[in-house]
Each structure stands twice: as C-alpha cells, then as structure tokens.
Structure 1
Amino acid sequence: MTDTNTTTHTQFDALTEAEFKNVVGHFASGVTVVTTAFGDKLYGSTASAFSSLSMDPLSVLVCLNKTSTTNPAVTGSGYFAVNILGEQNAELAKHFSRKNDDKFATVNYSRSQFGGVPTLDDALATIVCEVMDTPVGGTHTVYFGRALEATAASGGPLAYYRGRFGRFEEFEI
C-alpha cells in the first residue's frame, strides 16, 4: 500500500516548493505575535517560527520575513516581544497577519520597560527580549533574543497545523 502523501525522488529530481510546503505542513506549531516599538510607531506580525534557544543565556529565536514591516523595526529597536497566543486568540493571529498601518488601534496591550515594546494583554504568555544576533536565512531574518522578562497565564496554546488553527489536546500513552 502506498501513501499518497509520500514523495519519492531520484538523485536527479528537484524537490518542488509545493512538495516541501506539503511535507513541512505536517509539523504542528504554536502561534505567536512578534511586537516591537520603533520611533513613535508600534509594529506586530504573526509568526509560527519560534523556539526557545538556550538557558545560558536565557534566549529564544524567532523568524520574520524580510518583507514584513516588523522586521526592520525589530532591528532598529533592538528589542522585541514574543506573544504566545492561547486557543482563544485565533482572531488576534489573523489580525496581526494582515497589512495594516495601525494594528494596535483595536488591541489591548501594555508597554514593557525594555524598549517600550508592546505586549498583548490577551496573550497566553509573553517574553520580552533584547536582540543578540540577526543571521539571515533565505527570505527570513532569524532574531536571537536574550530574554529580559516573561509572564504566563493559564490556558491552552493556539496550535497551527496544515494552514489551520486548532487546540492542543492531551492524551495518555
């Protein structure tokens, strides 16, 4: 029996973008909104490419597309917040994924003492970071951030899988 989602290549076949996107889409991830303040403006973008990085120093990484207006603002500011979204935050994820001049006009937020970055009041958890390094990988900038402050609330995370939002469900093994 053959799995119809399996792609087999010879050494001469190139992996296509569609095939790669299909396979990578099988990885479930959390959903975040990366925020910053630069000049007199607030910025934010939805991102699922996020991970804890190190315990020494306490650090995380997040990836932002180079075409995002948030990307150069994070570089200019030197600070950013990763707002980890809860299962009730799907609309917030969609809101920050769209182009909009003032994404914060209808959103409840507070300002961190570090760089004045906005932190989303309705997020499940928030980590405020100082930029440590910014390597580039293809179309994205990878921000390594040293964690300066963090908060967490109770609740479940917003999950992202194969282009859709959902809930995490625990089960015993």
Structure 2
Amino acid sequence: MNISSPRAEAREFDALHFRQALSQFATGVTVITTRLADGTFRGLTASSFNSVSLDPPLVLWSLGTAANSLPIFSGNSHYVINVLGAEQAHLAKLFSRRSEDPWNGVEFELSRTGQPILKGAAAWFECHNRSRYPEGDHVIFVGEVEECACAPQSPLIFHNGQFGALR
C-alpha cells in the first residue's frame, strides 16, 4: 500500500523557526554503531530513533543525506542502536564530532555479527538493515531487530539543544 498526499500548502516559516519548534520535543539519545568489512568501527549520535512494529520487530532512525557516513550505513547489512543512559552524555558528544576517532578509550563488546555494543547502554538493538527511504534532506532507515537487551536506568535526553536526564 502506497499512501501519498498532494503537496502541503506554502509555509510561512523558515528552517530556523522550524528547528526551534522541534527543539521543544524531548528525545532519547542513541549512538548507532557498525563495523566495516575491513574491521573498522563507525558510529554516530542520533536522536531520531523510534519503534515501528512489534511483529516483526522493527525500529527506525534517520540520517541526513549530506552525512559522510550515509554510504557506510546504507551499505552495511547490520548496525546496533545503543540507547544512552543519563551518565553517557560524553559518548553522545564524542560520537557527534566529525574530526576525531571516537573509539579511542570507549568500552564496547561485539554482537554475534561483530557489531560494537557500547558498554553501559540503557538498551541496545542489533538490526538487520531492512530498508531505507529517502525523504526530504534525510534517509529513514528501518531496521529489523535480531537481538536486543536492556539495563534499565535513567535515560539521556536531548531538549532545547541541551543534554539532560529524567530522574
């Protein structure tokens, strides 16, 4: 089933105003990780994570079309979505930088398919890279969860441009 609608009416706001309005929605924070064929690890911070379906178990996240890591995540068969706990803001900041290798000193273990799982994460989801949908200036990734685990704790949240925690 393909559901489409005619284009929306002309907008009377700019991108900055839209971004400011979006910043009022508190989100969880994740680090999406994967391993390349040559053994190199890659990861990035994302707050665009959500559940899609329980049967089959599907989740989604999105990545900007201008991101250097888009070909990496588009081309790999698997990735792990690591949901960060309140004490892991340093990891969110580390994996959001483009200029340095974030893996130096980061503790992780490998999933059954060899993907990095960050130690101390509140939850993780190992996903088969099921589908990708280009929409606007992003690509929506839908992952089929093959394995997951959780260690319940206070989540790291992002709101109004700041990291915080629910207590």
**TM-score, L = length of structure 2:** 0.88
Please tell me whether Structure 1 or Structure 2 has the larger radius of gyration of its CA atoms.
1
**Any residues of structure 2 matched to 1:60-139 within 5 Å, and which?**
60-100=59-99, 102-114=101-113, 116-139=114-137
Q: What is the Cα-based RMSD across aligned positions, in Å? A: 1.6
SS state of the match for residue 147, structure 1?
A: strand
Residue 44 of structure 2 corresponds to residue 22 of structure 1: no
Percent identical across equivalent pairs?
Answer: 34
Q: Is there any run of 5+ residues in structure 2 with no aligned partner, and where?
A: 1-8
**Which residue number in structure 2 is paired with residue 4 of structure 1?**
none
Displacement of 1:72 in angstroms is 1.5
Displacement of 1:102 in angstroms is 2.8
Displacement of 1:154 in angstroms is 2.7
Displacement of 1:141 in angstroms is 1.3
Displacement of 1:67 in angstroms is 3.0
SS state of the match for residue 86, structure 2?
A: coil
SS state of the match for residue 154, structure 1?
A: coil
Residues 121-158 of structure 1: CA deviation (Å, up to 9, x unaligned): 12111100001110011221111000011011131100
SS state of the match for residue 89, structure 1?
A: helix
SS state of the match for residue 135, structure 1?
A: strand
Match for 1:92: what amino acid? Answer: L
Q: Is the 8 A contact 1:80 1:130 kept in 2?
A: yes
How many residue pairs get aligned? The number is: 158
Match for 2:56: what amino acid? Answer: P
SS state of the match for residue 94, structure 1?
A: helix
Displacement of 1:81 in angstroms is 0.6
Q: Is there any run of 5+ residues in structure 1 with no aligned partner, and where?
A: 1-10
Match for 1:149: what amino acid? Answer: E
Distance 2:158 2:60 in 1: 18
The verdict on how the C-alpha distance between 1:110 and 1:18 changes in structure 2, with shifts beyond 3 A counting, is same
Distance 1:162 1:82 in 2: 23
Distance 1:144 1:12 in 2: 30
**Which residue number in structure 2 is paired with residue 167 of structure 1?**
165
Residues 68-111 of structure 1: CA deviation (Å, up to 9, x unaligned): 33322122211111000000001110000001453212200111
Match for 1:79: what amino acid? Answer: H
**TM-score, L = length of structure 1:** 0.85
My pick for the range that moved more, 96-105 or 30-39, is 96-105
